[in-house]
């Protein structure tokens, strides 16, 4: 096992097209970090040249091979200090003359490996090809290192490939923009994969684009070990490979709990064609015509008394209906309680479930609620979905925590159903810790994901505000809920997400239940979070402006469309 080591994330404002100046600035900052004892040092995406190139002809004088003149400079530095350095630059492939947005991992003995950005951002197709080297984890004497570049990390698959490949640390170099940093996507990728993430971002203004800074080092539990807000600087932190190799997310060994046999759909792209055509093909299970709707999440600390819980659900459902909601989502085990789920488990024909169905019919509201299910000799963590004038639907949790494995069996089916306003998917409790779950629901065309949950803490924190001045309406001030892991889940899948969490049974503290919008970069945010009371209610809109191609992001799913499944085979092995 390798020992803990010091790491550094360099932040710099490259001057556009001033390659010599940028290299001198990078060498000085990397030298400073190495002199301070850093053994792994990252620098920003395209740090040698700047980023906002018009086209291939404009960037042509600045591209180079790897190895090449720029990487040679850092090889010499790495040799002197016995360290590893990640450099971002525009690369040319000598055989094809294709250009790539690349990152080079450089060690004391030369170039260790290269990552070519696989998922291009809006500007890069003007000059760069999509990366063709996949997602490699490089074994070094200090640990296992993966590299991702900016937009790559929007996709749950890229960081998951790094985690499955055994990465102790993901070196993410970027030109991130349009929000406060450290960005929620960066934090979630470290958190859900149980590894460290070193982030080198640029700052400053280039061709009218404001970059966000916020270079940092993030621990496997989402703690920000150090951060540079605005300006040139270096963030430092300690990487402990032994900690990363535990692969814990919320204290659970998530890599061992994955269900790859159920993930085959990750290798497909259901949004390659017009989804209005695709999902109505042959008249089989067409998606409902979308429309605006109002939905709610209810939060409570369920007791061991089913009758008491049923009364609480009744009161919250009535409150949601009073506020115009036509769907309300309740936490995991909301009906039967979490004190002793095995003892409280009930069959699917239990009177309490029939009472929920009667309530749904009477109020004309759909209800999603978690309960412990008894079926023959097996127990499950399940959810009931009641819809007015339709049969009850049941869904079983697929991924179980270590504690849940002592009493429950896992389900084997992802749950999708259609309501009058759109298609919904269900993920229960620990299912939401696995990015694969929500991704498969999105691939099946879900507009809204309902998430009955029960998680105590660790999935959110605030931000004190940034000195980086963003253009309106992007906020830069303080935010008590800057990172919310389930807001990221919504945005990365272009789905609305209704997250209904239990309150702490010990302190009755809020569980930060919320309804989150399908675009995390849309400000002001289209969301509602439970902060006072026990309900959050929000409008969602699944309508389209035109009859042909979806104009609604939840129906169009740009991020799902831009996936590159040919790189993802390891996810289903």
- pTM here? 0.97
Q: Is the dihedral of CA 23, 26, 28, 30 positive or negative?
A: negative
For residue 286, give both structure tokens. Answer: 């067409």
Name residues whose C-beta falls within 8 Å of residue 548's C-beta, 6 or more positions apart in sequence.
274, 276
Please tell me the predicted confidence (pLDDT) of residue 332: 98
- Tokens 């497909």 found at: 268
The Cα diameter of the chain in Å comes to: 75
Give residue-wise pLDDT tens across range 443-500: 999 999 999 999 988 999 999 999 999 999 999 999 999 999 999 999 999 999 999 9
Could you tell me which of 63, 117, 56, 138 has the C-alpha nearest to residue 94?
63
Q: What is the mean pLDDT of residues 289-306?
A: 96
Please tell me the predicted confidence (pLDDT) of residue 510: 83
What is the overall mean pLDDT for the chain? 97
Could you tell me which of 444, 523, 447, 440 has the C-alpha nearest to residue 156?
440
- Which segments within 56-98 are labelled E, that is strand? 84-92
> pLDDT tier at 531 (50, 70, 90 boundaries)?
confident
What distance in Å separates the CA atoms of residue 65 and residue 48, rounded to the nearest whole number?
A: 13
Q: What is the mean pLDDT of residues 136-143?
A: 98
What distance in Å separates the CA atoms of residue 495 and residue 517, rounded to the nearest whole number?
A: 7
Give residue-wise pLDDT tens across range 111-131: 999 999 999 999 999 999 999
Please tell me the predicted confidence (pLDDT) of residue 12: 98
Percent over 70 (pLDDT), the chain: 99
**Number of Cβ within a 10 Å radius of residue 319:** 17
**Long-range contacts (CB closer than 8 Å, 24 or more residues apart) made by 246-250:** 246/194, 246/220, 247/163, 247/193, 247/194, 247/195, 248/194, 248/220, 248/221, 249/191, 249/192, 249/193, 249/194, 249/220, 249/433, 250/433, 250/455, 250/458, 250/459
| CB neighbour burial string for 367-376, b if at least 16 within 10 angstroms, e if fewer | bbbbbbbbee
Please tell me the predicted confidence (pLDDT) of residue 505: 65
Please tell me the predicted confidence (pLDDT) of residue 387: 97
Please tell me the predicted confidence (pLDDT) of residue 471: 94
Q: What is the mean pLDDT of residues 171-192?
A: 98
Could you tell me which of 498, 531, 500 has the C-alpha nearest to residue 517?
498
Q: Report whether 356 contacts 346 (CB < 8 A).
A: no
> pLDDT tier at 547 (50, 70, 90 boundaries)?
confident
Would you list the DSSP string of 213-245? --EEEE-TTS-EEEEE-SSSEEEEEEE-HHHHT
Q: Report whether 465 contacts 476 (CB < 8 A).
A: yes
What distance in Å separates the CA atoms of residue 546 and residue 460, rounded to the nearest whole number?
A: 37
Please tell me the predicted confidence (pLDDT) of residue 508: 61
Please tell me the predicted confidence (pLDDT) of residue 457: 83
Residue 290 has pLDDT above 80, yes or no: yes
Q: What is the mean pLDDT of residues 89-107?
A: 98
């Amino acid at each position: 096992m390798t020992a803990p080591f010091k790491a550094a994330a360099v932040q710099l404002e490259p001057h556009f097209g001033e390659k010599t100046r940028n290299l001198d600035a990078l060498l000085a900052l990397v030298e400073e970090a190495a002199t301070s004892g850093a053994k792994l040092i990252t620098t920003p995406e395209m740090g040698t040249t700047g980023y906002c190139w018009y086209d291939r002809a404009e960037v042509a004088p600045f591209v180079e091979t790897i190895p090449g003149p720029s990487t040679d400079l850092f090889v010499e530095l790495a040799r002197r200090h016995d360290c590893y350095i990640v450099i971002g630059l525009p690369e040319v492939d000598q055989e094809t003359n294709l250009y790539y947005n690349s990152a080079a991992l450089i060690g004391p003995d030369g170039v260790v490996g290269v990552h070519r950005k696989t998922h291009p951002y809006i500007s890069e197709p003007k000059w760069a090809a999509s990366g063709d080297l996949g997602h490699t984890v490089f074994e070094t004497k200090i640990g296992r290192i993966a590299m991702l570049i900016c937009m790559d990390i929007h996709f749950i698959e890229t960081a998951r490939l790094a985690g499955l490949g055994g990465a102790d640390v993901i070196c993410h170099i970027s030109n991130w923009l349009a929000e406060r940093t450290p960005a929620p996507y960066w934090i979630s990728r470290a958190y859900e994969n149980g590894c460290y993430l070193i982030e080198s971002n640029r700052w400053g203004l280039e061709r009218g684009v404001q970059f966000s800074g916020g270079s940092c080092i993030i621990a496997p539990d989402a703690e920000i070990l150090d951060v540079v807000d605005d300006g040139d600087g270096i963030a430092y932190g300690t990487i402990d490979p032994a900690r990363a190799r535990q692969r814990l997310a919320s204290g659970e060994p998530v890599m061992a709990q994955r269900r790859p046999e159920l993930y085959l759909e990750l290798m497909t792209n259901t949004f390659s064609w017009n989804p209005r055509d695709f999902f109505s093909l042959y008249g089989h299970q067409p998606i409902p015509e979308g429309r605006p709707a109002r939905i709610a999440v209810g939060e409570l600390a369920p007791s061991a008394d089913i009758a008491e819980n049923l009364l609480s659900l009744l009161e919250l459902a009535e409150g949601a209906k009073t506020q115009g909601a036509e769907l309300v989502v309740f936490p995991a085990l909301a009906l039967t309680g979490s004190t002793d789920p095995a003892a409280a488990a009930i069959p699917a024909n239990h009177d309490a479930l029939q009472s929920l169905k009667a309530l749904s019919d009477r109020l004309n509201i759909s209800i999603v609620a978690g309960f412990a299910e008894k079926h023959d000799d097996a127990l499950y963590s399940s959810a009931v979905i009641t819809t007015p004038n339709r049969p009850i639907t049941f869904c079983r949790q697929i991924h179980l925590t270590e504690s849940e494995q002592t009493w429950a069996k896992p389900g084997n089916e992802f749950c999708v159903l259609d309501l009058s306003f759109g298609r919904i998917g269900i993920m229960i409790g620990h299912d939401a810790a696995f990015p694969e779950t929500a991704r498969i629901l999105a691939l099946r065309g879900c507009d809204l994901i309902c998430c009955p949950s029960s998680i105590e803490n660790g999935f959110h924190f605030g931000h004190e505000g940034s000195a980086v001045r963003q253009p309106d309406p992007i906020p830069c001030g303080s935010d008590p809920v800057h990172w919310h892991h389930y807001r990221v889940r919504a945005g990365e899948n272009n789905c609305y997400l209704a997250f209904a969490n239990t309150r702490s049974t010990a302190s009755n503290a809020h569980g930060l239940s919320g309804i989150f919008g399908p675009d995390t970069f849309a400000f002001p945010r289209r969301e509602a979070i439970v902060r006072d009371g026990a309900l959050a209610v929000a409008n969602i809109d699944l309508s389209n402006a035109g009859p042909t191609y979806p104009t609604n992001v939840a129906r169009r799913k740009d991020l799902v469309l831009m996936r590159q499944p040919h790189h993802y085979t390891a996810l289903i092995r």
